[in-house]
């Protein structure tokens, strides 16, 4: 149960406490790659100039990833924001399970292997094909392939989702060509292994939050049915599409690898399939297609009888998928649970693209609410258009509804995610991302007026960087230029810290913001929030950013 702060001078903010997550907005120098700095953002500029701000770590070990060269992402970022603690995350869990041998000693791996051997069938691997370490890592795939051969599996097919988002936008050959050499070294008379299909991650298979089931259907037709344009190799497919369409890797159309006019690796009865992504949001829909006999979102045409497993359990409450190789982190004692136990009314709101982040991920990978009575979740449907064509996304509509909820007086603690900086930033389009930040800034101005009217407070922060580095930079911070002198777009997240601004005009100096010694991370926001509400933070949480006088 909650404990009220033992400070007579401060019983909590009079009005509501609002956390604003500017998704994908990091902090770095105002250089030629920084779309945040290039944008006209008078409200954000004012906040950074006049209000206390600390710079939060939002990547690497600060959010539970293996090392500090690992970029943060929205999933682990919102886990940390909502949990108040740092838990070992997917990449680290999987790597540890592989290194210890625990994965291969587990019942799911044995079931996958046993099924293939019993049926003299095929073991398939499907997932994001890079070392971005946000959704997957190619080393995990290689380790499983090596183990499959060691255990006597005769036939393996790999279905690759080209990245170009968490890694360089045109880096596909950096993965495809060495991987083909890796396969060639393994291949022998007793081990038949080939890439069977693929396509860009933003075109097939990896939809999330049911925003575009057509992507998943396209993936099913490609990987399972073997329908689509045929090529002799993945390299040929990428090379051809680039020449014909001029698209970056994440937008490559689907392709099928064929020999003598026939696909080399359709999925059939008796096969086993591993979806080797460890991050959950873009894994759930394809898992439903493979795992749910009553599936109705599209016509699967053919539903093979097979054994399917995810790298992790992507939804712990709905148990999706039913088979998984590594147990996900058990995230407990989250802020949502604490506040509802304390009787605090909560609102969570975003558009579809980040709705799951302010609900499922914020609550520690938990579907549903802690309290139907105290919690309200609002999803503003996202547009299904390329983000660079509508960079403002739904920020105005989100703000309309948020202001309505603030003024209703129903909610003591609110959280909102604006996806603009991340989703538009991933397109690599500098001008569109600059526009997205200007659209967001207009909404910040609207929101803060209402916060003041209600004598409330706001925490303005982000979950990771993205829009702050739209072009590739060298170690000296200079633009990397192509042979033709062109800038090289960067579509991945950054390693930059993110802002955490405490906006409060009514506490009367009852607290101070602690000195920023560079040690604060996203997990420090939870304790800060409950302190502003007038409660002590649980002992297991990371320390608050504020200190009462």
Identify the pLDDT of residue 2. 44
Identify whether residues 203 and 292 lie together within a single domain.
yes
Distance, C-alpha 189 to centroid of its chain: 41
As a whole-number percent, the residues of the chain with pLDDT over 90 amount to 86
CB atoms within 10 A of CB 155: 18
Identify whether residues 318 and 425 lie together within a single domain.
no
With respect to residue 138, please indicate whether it lies within any of the assigned structural domains. Answer: yes
CB atoms within 10 A of CB 515: 8
Segment 334-356, tens digit of pLDDT = 999 999 999 999 999 999 999 99
Q: Is the pLDDT of residue 213 over 70?
A: yes
Identify whether residues 441 and 527 lie together within a single domain.
yes
Identify whether residues 304 and 445 lie together within a single domain.
no
With respect to residue 15, please indicate whether it lies within any of the assigned structural domains. Answer: no
With respect to residue 6, please indicate whether it lies within any of the assigned structural domains. Answer: no
Active site residues: 74
Q: Is the pLDDT of residue 297 over 60?
A: yes
Identify whether residues 114 and 30 lie together within a single domain.
no
Identify whether residues 62 and 114 lie together within a single domain.
no
Task: Kindly provide the b/e burial profile for residues 242-279, where b requires at least 16 CB atoms within 10 angstroms of the residue's own CB.
Answer: beeeebbbbbbbbbbbbeeeebbbbbbeebbbbbbbbb
Q: Which one of 293, 326, 359 terminates a domain?
A: 326
Segment 156-186, tens digit of pLDDT = 999 999 999 999 999 999 999 999 999 999 9
CB 277, CB 135: distance < 8 Å: yes
With respect to residue 11, please indicate whether it lies within any of the assigned structural domains. Answer: no
Segment 254-274, tens digit of pLDDT = 999 999 999 999 999 999 999
Q: Is the pLDDT of residue 315 over 70?
A: yes
Q: Is the pLDDT of residue 251 over 70?
A: yes
Segment 115-131, tens digit of pLDDT = 999 999 999 999 999 99
Segment 84-125, tens digit of pLDDT = 999 988 888 999 999 999 999 999 999 999 999 999 999 999
Q: Is the pLDDT of residue 417 over 80?
A: yes
Identify the pLDDT of residue 318. 75
Q: Name the most confidently modeled range: 6-20, 315-329, 427-441.
A: 427-441
With cut-offs at 50, 70 and 90, classify the pLDDT of residue 3: very low
CB 394, CB 327: distance < 8 Å: no
Q: Which one of 326, 348, 374 terminates a domain?
A: 326
Six token digits for residue 217? 């259907």
Identify whether residues 460 and 365 lie together within a single domain.
yes
CB 349, CB 416: distance < 8 Å: yes
Identify whether residues 311 and 335 lie together within a single domain.
no
Looking at per-residue pLDDT, the higher value among 140 and 316 belongs to 140
Identify the pLDDT of residue 473. 86
What would the mean pLDDT of 388-415 be, rounded to a whole number?
A: 98
Identify whether residues 165 and 79 lie together within a single domain.
no
Identify the pLDDT of residue 70. 81
With respect to residue 533, please indicate whether it lies within any of the assigned structural domains. Answer: yes
**pTM: predicted TM-score of the whole model, two decimal places:** 0.76
Identify whether residues 261 and 395 lie together within a single domain.
no
Identify whether residues 102 and 125 lie together within a single domain.
yes
With cut-offs at 50, 70 and 90, classify the pLDDT of residue 317: low
How far is 375 from 294, CA to CA, in rounded Å?
31
With cut-offs at 50, 70 and 90, classify the pLDDT of residue 1: very low
How far is 441 from 44, CA to CA, in rounded Å?
6
With cut-offs at 50, 70 and 90, classify the pLDDT of residue 68: confident
Q: Is the pLDDT of residue 506 over 90?
A: yes
Identify the pLDDT of residue 316. 64
Q: What is the CATH number of the domain that holds 110?
A: 3.40.1450.10
Q: Which one of 281, 308, 326 terminates a domain?
A: 326
- Worst-scoring range by mean pLDDT, 42-46, 303-307, 471-475, 539-543? 471-475
Domain that holds residue 167: 91-326
Q: How many domains does the chain have?
A: 2
With respect to residue 366, please indicate whether it lies within any of the assigned structural domains. Answer: yes
With respect to residue 2, please indicate whether it lies within any of the assigned structural domains. Answer: no
Cα separations (Å) of 290 from 102, 144, 193, 320, 527? 25, 20, 22, 10, 40
Q: What is the CATH number of the domain that holds 437?
A: 3.40.720.10
With respect to residue 288, please indicate whether it lies within any of the assigned structural domains. Answer: yes
How far is 114 from 119, CA to CA, in rounded Å?
9
How far is 94 from 386, CA to CA, in rounded Å?
33
Q: What is the DSSP-derived secondary structure letter of residue 65?
A: -
As a whole-number percent, the residues of the chain with pLDDT over 70 amount to 98
Distance, C-alpha 535 to centroid of its chain: 30
Q: Is the pLDDT of residue 476 over 50?
A: yes
Identify whether residues 359 and 503 lie together within a single domain.
yes
How far is 493 from 506, CA to CA, in rounded Å?
36
Q: Name the most confidently modeled range: 4-18, 381-395, 479-493.
A: 381-395
Tokens 């922060």 appear where? 461
Q: Is the pLDDT of residue 4 over 90?
A: no
Helix axes of 172-186 and 234-245: crossing angle, nearest 10 degrees: 160
């Amino acid at each position: 149960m909650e404990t009220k702060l033992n400070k007579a001078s401060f019983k909590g903010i009079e009005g509501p406490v609002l956390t604003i997550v500017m998704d994908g907005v990091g902090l770095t120098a105002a250089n030629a790659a920084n779309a945040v700095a290039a944008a006209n953002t008078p409200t954000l500029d004012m906040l950074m100039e006049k209000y206390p701000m600390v710079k939060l770590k939002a990547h690497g070990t600060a959010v539970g990833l293996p090392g500090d060269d690992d970029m943060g992402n929205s999933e682990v970022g919102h886990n940390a924001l909502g949990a108040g603690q740092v838990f070992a995350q997917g990449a680290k869990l999987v790597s540890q399970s592989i290194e210890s041998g625990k994965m291969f000693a587990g019942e799911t791996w044995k079931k996958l292997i046993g099924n293939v051997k019993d049926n003299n069938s095929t073991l398939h691997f499907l997932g994001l094909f890079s070392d971005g370490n946000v959704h997957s890592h190619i080393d995990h795939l290689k380790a499983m392939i090596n183990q499959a051969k060691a255990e006597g599996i005769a036939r393996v097919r790999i279905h690759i989702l080209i990245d170009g988002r968490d890694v360089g936008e045109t880096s596909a050959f950096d993965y495809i060509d060495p991987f083909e050499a890796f396969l060639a070294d393994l291949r022998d008379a007793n081990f038949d292994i080939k890439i069977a299909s693929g396509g860009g991650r933003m075109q097939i298979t990896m939809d999330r939050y049911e925003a575009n089931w057509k992507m998943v259907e396209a993936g099913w037709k490609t990987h399972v049915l073997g329908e689509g344009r045929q090529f002799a190799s993945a390299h040929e497919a990428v090379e051809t599409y680039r020449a014909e369409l001029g698209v970056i890797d994440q937008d490559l159309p689907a392709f099928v690898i064929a020999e003598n006019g026939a696909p080399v690796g359709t999925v059939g009865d008796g096969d086993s399939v591993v979806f080797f992504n460890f991050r959950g949001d873009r894994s759930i829909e394809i898992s439903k297609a493979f795992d749910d006999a009553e599936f109705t979102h599209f016509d699967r045409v053919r539903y093979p009888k097979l054994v399917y497993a995810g790298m992790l359990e992507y939804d712990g409450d709905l148990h999706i998928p039913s088979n998984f190789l590594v147990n996900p982190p058990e995230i407990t004692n989250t802020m949502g649970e604490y506040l509802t136990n304390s009787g605090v009314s909560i609102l969570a709101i975003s558009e579809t693209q980040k709705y799951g982040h302010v609900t499922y991920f914020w609550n520690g990978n938990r579907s549903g609410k802690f309290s139907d009575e105290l919690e309200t979740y609002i999803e503003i449907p996202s547009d299904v258009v390329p983000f660079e064509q509508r960079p403002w996304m739904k920020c105005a509509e989100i703000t309309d509804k948020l202001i309505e909820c603030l003024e209703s007086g129903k909610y003591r603690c609110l959280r909102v995610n604006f996806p603009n900086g991340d989703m538009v930033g991933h397109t690599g389009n500098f001008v569109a991302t600059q526009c997205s930040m200007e659209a967001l800034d207009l909404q910040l101005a609207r929101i803060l007026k209402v916060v003041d009217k209600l004598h409330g407070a706001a925490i303005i922060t982000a979950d990771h960087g993205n829009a702050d580095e739209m072009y590739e930079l060298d170690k000296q911070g200079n633009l990397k230029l192509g042979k033709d002198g062109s800038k090289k777009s960067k579509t991945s997240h950054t390693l930059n810290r993110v802002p955490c601004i405490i906006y409060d005009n009514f506490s009367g100096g009852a607290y101070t913001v602690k000195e920023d010694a560079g040690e604060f991370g996203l997990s420090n926001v939870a304790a800060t929030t409950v302190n502003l509400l007038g409660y002590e933070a649980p002992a297991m949480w990371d320390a608050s950013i504020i200190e009462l006088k």
